Structure 1
Amino acid sequence: MSATVDILVPFYGDAALLREAVASVLAQHDDRWRLTVVDDHADDPGELAAWFATIGDERVRYLPNPANLGLTGNFNRCLELVEHDLAVLMGCDDRLLPNYVGTVLDVHADHPDAGIIQPGVRVIDRDGRPVRTLVDQAKRHVYAPRVSGRRTMAGEQLAISLLRGDWLYFPSLAWRAATITSVRFRPDLRVIQDLALLMELVQRGERLVVDETLCFEYRRHAASESSATAFDGSRFTEAGTFFADTAARLREHGWPRAARVARRHLSSRIFALTMLPKVLRQRAGVGALTRHVFGRA
């Protein structure tokens, strides 16, 4: 039986950008996909439901939550809906390029036991134009490993790489269904859930395949949850606790080098340092940032 990609979109944002995301799925060259939008946001889900009804494609589902689950709860609801071979937790403001489904299915066919697939990503701004940011340039040129074609990573090597600087684009990842449905997002985390989930899977022995084929557009704009929590400092309070906890667990797991990288969490502290001038101007979140930057590693 041919493999199929479950594309799940936890929605809580801009309806216009969601329509762009949906259109990018409908434009796939490979038709082996199913799209499920789980709405945890709309004041009037009837309007969006009517729009989805006009699509007329049985592979597209629109499911408004009867009660608001919150960001983490909605992500976990999406995990409950996975039924096919691969799953993607696509951002509601991101876009697939037309070759996305075909690309990840090709990688899956060559590496059927790999739990995580990272394809090539282009970063776009609020208006859909390609953009280069300091964060993304650091991901690409400082933290990401060199890849020519494809590369497989696993074990402590992968843990160290991600803890030095999380260079993955979580909404672009394709997951083997058995891998992603075996975990849940942590309700005590707001921003760093993706890295926490990845580290849990890496410790379990899951492998990551990186394929450089460009097929995904990741939208970065100031309205994101991560941007807001960076400015108020809560992102870094959460990060400090996470890295300390992760360092302890990695020591117990027998990965001392990865534990040292987690304890230092240098890239997270550098990012906090870059945010400090802006935070000082608005005089909010200063204490959390300074503790994260200058506190003991």
Structure 2
Amino acid sequence: MTTVDVLVPFYGDAALLREAVTSVLAQDDPNWRLTVVDDGGAEDVRPWFATVDDERVRYLRNPRNLGLTGNFNRCLDLVELDLAVLMGCDDRMLPNYVRTVRAAHAADPEAGIIQPGVRVIGPDGRPARTLVDEVKRRIYAPRGRVTLGGEDLAVSLLRGDWLYFPSLAWRADVLTSVRFRRDLRVIQDLALLMELVLRGVRLVVDDTPCFEYRRHGASESSATAFDGSRFTEAGEFFAATADRLTRHGWPRAARVARRHVSSRIFALTMLPRAVRQGAGMRALVRHALGRR
């Protein structure tokens, strides 16, 4: 029987972590195990976990701080079951999440990645709408139930990364075959995905809503977007990826990576705030113009 390994790398808000854990406990399918890996958050959450009376829940605290990428890779080392999820410590599952991804896996067991339906919430936990998410949903994301792979999947993700990484369910052998890159800060997820796509891994989309992704301005990706460093990293990643795709024999995907239009447009949307803050403008302009 397929069982889902839910791994939560934690460093942040203890109250939001409790919401995340509670949402896993509320699953209507019991075939899951939850592991929280604490990388030294500001607040000690061990006393709260001592009150959680469920043998499927385990709490681990790293003996030393590993940092964001290190803690994600630590979670990969702990995957043991059939499917795995690297859930954000401030996100929430709807009660049907485990049931939905298990059904998607049963329907296409050869697919390595499952993208279920996602709702976006704000810092207060209420439904939220942002320009980024509306563009993802209306322009880049496929609709209904679909399977993608090969160059078509590479082109789709490089045109605009429409996935919600913390909501993805992975075949365990696929996820544990890779590692997050320590030289990247905010584009690790796309880099890991492209590595797997190049290896022939296919992705299944099932748009049944079953996950709540929290969008807020305190994240690493938001901070680096406003200071421009995100786009310096992104430009270097897209250039290297374009070269690799050319060598791989995927010219369409290489062209999309080299142009990275959606990333450049996103940089333009950040310019007004950068002007007000007086920081990051040069990096944003260079990226928007496609200059490294």
TM interval, short-chain normalised:
over 0.9
1:1-297 counterparts in 2 under 5 A? 2-43=1-42, 45=44, 48-145=45-142, 147-148=143-144, 150-296=145-291
Amino acid at match of 2:88: G
Conserved in 1, the CA contact under 8 Å of 2:12 and 2:42? no
Please tell me whether the aligned partners of residues 140 and 161 of structure 2 are also in contact (alpha carbons under 8 angstroms).
yes
Q: CA deviation at 1:144?
A: 1.0
Deviation at residue 68 of structure 1 after TM alignment? 0.4
Q: Give the whole-Å Cα distance in 2 for the aligned partners of 1:43 and 1:230.
A: 24
Q: Which runs of 5+ in 2 are unaligned?
A: none
Partner amino acid for 2:29?
A: D
Q: Unmatched 5+ residue regions in structure 1?
A: none
Q: Report the Cα distance in structure 2 between the residues aligned to 1:194 and 1:23, rounded to whole angstroms.
A: 25
* Counterparts of 1:6 and 1:202, CA distance in 2: 22
Deviations 1:16-36 (A, max 9, x none): 000000000000000000000
Identity of aligned residues (%): 77
Q: What is the one-letter code of the residue matched to 1:59?
A: R
CA distance in 2 between partners of 1:143 and 1:275 (Å): 20
Aligned-pair CA distance for 1:296: 4.0
Q: Distance in 2 between matches of 1:89 and 1:279?
A: 32
Question: CA-atom RMSD, angstroms?
Answer: 0.9
Cα separation, partners in 2 of 1:17 and 1:205, compared to 1, 3 Å = same
Provide the rounded CA distance (Å) in 2 between the counterparts of 1:249 and 1:13: 36
Cα deviation for residue 212 of structure 1 reads: 1.0
Q: Distance in 1 between matches of 2:230 and 2:41?
A: 26
2 CA distance for matches of 1:44 and 1:93? 15
Supply the distance in 1 between the matched residues of 2:57 and 2:232 (Cα, whole angstroms). Answer: 39
Instruction: Please state whether the residue corresponding to 2:124 is helix, strand or coil.
Output: coil
How many angstroms apart in 2 are the aligned matches of 1:21 and 1:56? 16
C-alpha distance in structure 1 between counterparts of 2:173 and 2:229, whole Å? 33
Q: Is the 8 A contact 2:40 2:64 kept in 1?
A: no
- Measured in 1, the distance between the counterparts of 2:37 and 2:8 equals 6
SS of the equivalent of 1:227 reads helix
Using structure 1 for the length normalisation, give the TM-score: 0.97
1:294, 1:99 → 2: CA distance?
44
Distance 1:67 1:202 in 2: 33
